[in-house]
Amino acid sequence: MTRPMKAAFEDAFVAAQAAWPGVTLDREAFMAYLRERTGEDGAEVAHASDLFLACACLRGDPRAIAFFEAHFLAQVPAFLSRVENDKATIPELLQALREKLLLPSAGGRPKLADYTGQGPLGAWLRVVAVRAALDRKRAQPREVLREEIPDTLLAPSDDPELDYLRVRYAAEFRAAFQDALLSLEPKGRTVLRLHIIDGLNIDRIGVIYGVHRATVARWIADARAWLFERTRGLLSERLSLEPREFESVLRLVGQDLDASVRRILEDESG
């Protein structure tokens, strides 16, 4: 670890102790936890105090868990009420989320360990809570969840040439879409997941993030445009096609974008 980075980590430790008084966490344990999530290349530790609390919670510190309950989990019912019409289920969802966050799953680790400090802990928890509620809804009839997803996105093309290209280059298309999606910034991936997989419209996503519907619409448009351009670039690098064929491929990319994103995100969800 470089000297400036070590100094930054030391400062983060002192600030975190001040932010969460009474929480017991070994300095070296925190340094290792922080290093795992920020690296040693000088990455900023803007949310190190949140990472400190998460680390202490995962190590079972009672004071840390009390802070987490009071400052973060206490906000979850408000998040859930934005997507869950049956208010009677919210306490059950909250308890399930509490266990998911703090207890290891079968063959896995507690969900809180996935928090990397890229944003505030509260914002991360909001998305996790909403996703948990939507996962529960997906086990139920899906009329509401699919209301924003046009059937035409999943329909085959009427153009024989496009159908041929879709079959001929299926593996290449999927690989390019997947690589493009993996390199999309986290907020863009999350918003696309909420919109395409969970079927939330821009108004409901706006409520979740506390922003105007126009902002969400711009996020979605920007993410789609970025995915199209990135996929286009990857296919251009990987396929040797005549100009006319490549123009047809671009039409296919545009037509299949949401359907391809849906398939990949659903596969990731298991």
Q: How far apart are CA 199 and CA 149, in angstroms?
A: 6
- Which residue, chain included where needed, has tokens 């105007």? 212
- pTM of the complete model: 0.59
C-alpha 164/C-alpha 179 separation (Å) is 23
At 113, is the secondary structure helix, strand, or coil?
A: helix
- Identify the top-confidence range among 128-132, 142-146, 213-217: 213-217
Burial of 151 (0-12, 13-18, 19+ CB in 10 A): exposed
Of 15-19, 47-51, 138-142, 168-172, the poorest mean pLDDT is in 138-142
Tens-place pLDDT, residues 22-54: 999 999 999 999 888 876 554 566 789 999 999
Quick check: 216 and 205 in contact, CB under 8 A? yes
Tell me whether residue 115 is exposed, middle or buried, using C-beta atoms within 10 angstroms of its C-beta: 0 to 12, 13 to 18, 19 or more.
Answer: buried
pLDDT of res. 87: 79
Cβ atoms of 30 and 13 within 8 Å: the answer is yes
- Provide the pLDDT for residue 166: 64
82 closest CA partner among 37, 127, 36, 148: 127
Q: What tokens were used for 218?
A: 């711009």
Q: Give the integer Cα–Cα distance in Å for 206 and 136.
A: 21
What are 155's two structure tokens? 């329909």
pLDDT reported for residue 18: 94
Give the tens place of pLDDT for each residue, 161-215: 555 566 677 778 778 888 888 888 888 888 988 888 888 889 988 888 888 999 9
What's the chain's average pLDDT? 80
When pLDDT is averaged across residues 216-236 and rounded to a whole number, the result is 88
E strands within the chain?
A: none
